């Protein structure tokens, strides 16, 4: 995939220090409290009176991404997004990221620059400082590890484990689209591999592809919640599918839940493609990963406020633990939810 990129500069010709130098040149810092970014043994961050939030995620080639259909720039962007999403899910503001990559010698300098172009684009979009990292070799695939650092006022942090009985369950955006975007890319890759003369037909699927390849983190929702004066009682980002996240939130809060199937927000494109694949759209929303939407619970007293927010759906409420995790279908049947979500180990062993 890098053959078309024109120039190819071997990483071995510039060495690790040369690579760090090149990466550093394109970095802009947005926060005066980032006292020292790239270039020392550690980044130095001036503390505020707020708390510090730290989250980390690792993406490995062949498990989390397939470079035959993932542009490196998108991959860099997404690697940042999935970490920022975790900071927003604490009701915080991401401020810095440190990024480590391991690349094999099949990657050129130009390929690494593409990756960092995406990283820098995400940093610029969300005003986050790329404050350090590590660049090293791998024997085979590409590995990206990102740690995001954020802040929040101590009393504004929203954990997973404080949902209460009768709290309303909200989700942002729509679910299942990223998963179906991935199914589409996998299908077209397979067709192409079987017959290289057939061009991939991805027209009309822009929304699903973008959800898979270039997701966004819901900063806008955190801003809206703040403006509306709503502090969720519990929150988690939806990276492994709604069912998994409900499982985490309810288990940690010591509660059950009841959601209504027809309240789960699913885009019409998602529903259409799911049927093409003979999948139930709701199954994709429950178990498909990488949506990077937010799942949160609010006090029933905040219902009117939350109704006024854009792009938020109320899908059910928190119940007592004994009632378990239930979904009610349109005919009134109660279905037991299982956290069988997207799981890298599961995926690997399919």
What residues between 57 and 116 interact with its own copies by CB under 8 A? Answer: 57-64, 85-87, 89-90, 92, 96, 98, 100-102, 105
Instruction: Work out the widest C-alpha separation in the chain, in whole angstroms.
Output: 66
Please state, in angstroms and rounded to a whole number, the distance separating the CA atoms of residues 77 and 189: 22
Residues 31-60 that bind its own copies (CB under 8 A): 35-36, 39-60
Residue number with CB closer to its own copies (136 or 262):
136
What track of x and - describes contact with its own copies for positions 12 through 31 (by CB under 8 A)? x--xxx-x------------
Please state, in angstroms and rounded to a whole number, the distance separating the CA atoms of residues 235 and 218: 12
DSSP one-letter code for 108: B
Please state, in angstroms and rounded to a whole number, the distance separating the CA atoms of residues 91 and 236: 10
User: What torsion, rounded to 10 degrees, do the Cα atoms 206, 213, 306, 331 define?
Assistant: 70
Q: Which string of b and e fits 24-59 if b means at least 16 CB within 10 Å?
A: eeebebebeebeebbeeeebebeeeebbebebebeb
Among 113, 167, 174, 237, binds its own copies (CB under 8 A): 237
Six-digit token pair at 13?
């010709």
* Binding piece for its own copies, criterion CB under 8 A, among 23-31, 110-118, 132-140, 209-217: 132-140
Six-digit token pair at 266?
């699913």
The CB-of-262 to its own copies minimum distance in angstroms stands at: 28
Size of the site for its own copies (CB under 8 A): 80
* Binding piece for its own copies, criterion CB under 8 A, among 22-30, 129-137, 209-217, 223-231: 129-137
Q: Which residues contact 43 (CB under 8 A, 6 or more apart)?
A: 34, 36, 37, 96, 98, 131, 132
Residue number with CB closer to its own copies (16 or 206):
16
Residues 245-304 that bind its own copies (CB under 8 A): 252
CB 76, CB 116: distance < 8 Å: yes
Residues 314-343 that bind its own copies (CB under 8 A): 339, 343
Residue number with CB closer to its own copies (73 or 160):
160
The CB-of-292 to its own copies minimum distance in angstroms stands at: 11
What track of x and - describes contact with its own copies for positions 146 through 165 (by CB under 8 A)? -xxxx-x-x--x-xxx----
């Amino acid at each position: 995939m890098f053959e078309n990129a024109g120039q190819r500069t071997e990483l071995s010709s510039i060495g690790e220090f040369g690579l760090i130098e090149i990466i550093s040149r394109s970095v802009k810092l947005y926060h005066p409290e980032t006292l020292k970014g790239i270039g020392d043994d550690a980044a130095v961050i001036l503390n505020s009176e707020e708390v510090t939030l730290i989250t980390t995620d690792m993406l490995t080639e062949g498990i989390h991404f397939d470079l035959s259909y993932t542009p490196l720039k998108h991959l860099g962007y997404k690697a940042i997004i999935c970490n920022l999403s975790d900071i927003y899910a604490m009701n915080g503001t991401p401020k810095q990221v440190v990024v480590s990559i391991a690349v094999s010698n099949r990657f050129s300098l130009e390929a690494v620059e593409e990756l960092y172009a995406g990283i820098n684009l995400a940093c610029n979009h969300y005003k986050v400082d790329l404050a350090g990292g590590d660049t090293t070799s791998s024997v085979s695939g590409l590995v990206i590890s990102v740690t995001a650092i954020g802040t929040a006022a101590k009393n504004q942090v929203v954990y997973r484990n404080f949902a209460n009985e009768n709290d309303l369950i909200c989700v942002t955006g729509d679910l299942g689209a990223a998963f179906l975007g991935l199914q589409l890319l996998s299908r077209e890759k397979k067709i192409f591999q079987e017959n290289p003369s057939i061009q991939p037909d991805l027209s009309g699927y822009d929304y699903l592809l973008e959800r898979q390849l270039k997701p966004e983190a819901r900063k806008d929702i955190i801003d809206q919640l703040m403006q509306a004066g709503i502090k969720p009682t519990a929150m988690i980002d939806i990276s492994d599918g709604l069912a998994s996240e409900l499982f985490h939130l309810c288990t940690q809060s010591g509660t059950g839940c009841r959601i209504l199937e027809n309240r789960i927000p699913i885009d019409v494109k998602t529903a259409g493609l799911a049927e093409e694949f003979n999948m139930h759209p709701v199954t994709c929303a429950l178990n498909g990963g990488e949506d990077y939407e937010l799942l949160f619970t609010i006090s029933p007293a905040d219902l009117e406020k939350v109704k006024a927010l854009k792009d938020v759906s109320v899908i059910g409420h928190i119940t007592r633990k004994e009632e378990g995790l239930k979904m009610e279908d349109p005919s009134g049947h109660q279905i037991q939810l299982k956290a069988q979500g997207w799981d890298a180990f599961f995926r690997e062993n399919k």
